[in-house]
Amino acid sequence: MFAFYVAALYLPLLTAHGVPGLAQTHLPNGYVQGDTPGNSSIVAHLLLSIIVIASGPLQLIPWVRTRFPSFHRWNGRLWIGLSVVTSVSGMYLTWTREPLIGGLNGQVGTSIGGLLILIFSTTTVYAARNRRMADHRRWAFRLFMVVSVVRFFRIGYKFWAVAASGQYVHEFFAFWYHGQYLVPLGALQFYLWAERNRNPIAKLAVAVFTMLLTLLMSIGIFAAVTQMWLPRL
């Protein structure tokens, strides 16, 4: 849904009006007259993110990995390469455009997420090239989590808007600029721990915890789709 939203909103707009068309969107500072590097970065960030958002989940499907290993390898290379480009462009925009809600804290949190993408991309590729497939799988999972902060940020915000009835938004952002990558990585680490743990009670506890997070995410996703993404199309 998020990939569809980004493609359906921005592709027709850029085709019809070019880069200045971004001034008609909800993006704050989406288009700044005279800022060619910044405008080019935001266009690249938006267009490449469509591929990143759509191709990333395909890497996690076991059936695709086993039946189409060549596709898995080439799609993975594309996904990692474009993830690096979008993270660099995102960090550039974070520090060259006027900061939004969160100020310096938001800039730092967003930049840490971008740096983690660069680090995890390197470790994921390094493990694959050295045939350490168990390590490759774990680092690829971590990479997927930090690449997905663009979704987690919006899903988390909409969940909070529903749960707290729109109260304490600034306080939530102060936490979520870092929680957007810490919470998913922490949840993943619990999952990887339970995967290796032979204690059935530990496995059950992590399964229940994962189901709870999935429920909370579902609320955020539904709110984001119905209250934010679809109304803008």
Percent of the chain with pLDDT over 90: 84
Q: Given a cut of 80, is residue 171 above it in pLDDT?
A: yes
95: Cα separation from own chain's centroid: 19
92 or 28, greater pLDDT: 92
Residue 181 binned pLDDT confidence (cut-offs 50, 70, 90): very high
- The pLDDT tens digits of the residues spanning 82-129 come to 999 999 999 999 898 876 667 889 899 999 999 999 999 999 999 999
Q: Given a cut of 80, is residue 28 above it in pLDDT?
A: no
pLDDT in the model for residue 124: 97
As a three-state string, the secondary structure of the chain is: CHHHHHHHHHHHHHHHHCHHHHHHCCCCCCCCCCCHHHHHHHHHHHHHHHHHHHHHHHHHCHHHHHHCHHHHHHHHHHHHHHHHHHHHHHHHHHHHCCCCCCHHHHHHHHHHHHHHHHHHHHHHHHHHHCCCHHHHHHHHHHHHHHHCHHHHHHHHHHHHHHHCCCCCHHHHHHHHHHHHHHHHHHHHHHHHHHHHCCCHHHHHHHHHHHHHHHHHHHHHHHHHHHHHHHHHC
Contact 82, 59 (CB under 8 A): no
Q: Where are the domains of the chain?
A: 2-232
Q: Given a cut of 90, is residue 177 above it in pLDDT?
A: yes
Q: Given a cut of 80, is residue 29 above it in pLDDT?
A: no
Average pLDDT over residues 23-36: 85
Average pLDDT over residues 145-157: 95
Average pLDDT of every residue of the chain: 93
Average pLDDT over residues 70-79: 96
Q: Residue 139 corresponds to which tokens in the numbers above? A: 């680092």
Average pLDDT over residues 177-197: 96
Residue 58 binned pLDDT confidence (cut-offs 50, 70, 90): very high
101 or 24, greater pLDDT: 24
